[in-house]
Amino acid sequence: MDFKFATRTLILAVASCAFMPVALAQWQWIEKDGRKVFSDRSPPAEIQEKDILKRPGGKSPSLPASSADPAPPAAAAVKPSAPKLSGKDAQLEARKKQADEAEATKKKAEEEKLAQAKADNCERAHKGLANIQSGVRISVVNAKGEREFMDDSARAAESKRLQGIADSECAR
């Protein structure tokens, strides 16, 4: 029994080795002496196009017989139905444009917010200046939480501070 098993295994191993080069070969051509050659490399330059039987990927010869180069050209591999590449990715360009628009919108909103804050500060500074210059007694709360009335020197300092704010915020 062991002899039969060993024989079968040996026969299968030899048979698989015999067919392996054919399975791995990508090129097939006929030599000048009529011998069929299987190889993973392209045939030599002296082999005519009509003698090439198989190309890589199972392709049959597609080049005209007048061609001296046995290797398939890269241009022949491009299908006419394939999309033409322009060097630009339309989807990437669209995303970039969308991101630029979003950034511009964000920047514009921020500028509008800043302009509104400046306008509010300007308005407050003018109202404060009007109150200070009106001559009405103004009270403030000190650090202890007590109410104090502004004297002339405090009124002049506050007027100067508010005028500086008005000058910087109201300049257009």
> What is the model's pLDDT at position 18?
56
> What is the model's pLDDT at position 104?
96
> What is the model's pLDDT at position 83?
59
% of residues, the chain, pLDDT over 90: 35
> What is the model's pLDDT at position 148?
92
Computed over every residue of the chain, the mean pLDDT equals 80
Per residue in 62-84, pLDDT (tens digit) is: 544 444 444 554 444 445 565 56
Per residue in 123-138, pLDDT (tens digit) is: 999 999 999 988 889 9
pTM of this structure: 0.41
Distance separating alpha carbons of residues 153 and 123, to the nearest angstrom:
24
Question: For 16-20, 32-36, 52-56, 130-134, which range has the lowest pLDDT when averaged over its residues?
Answer: 16-20
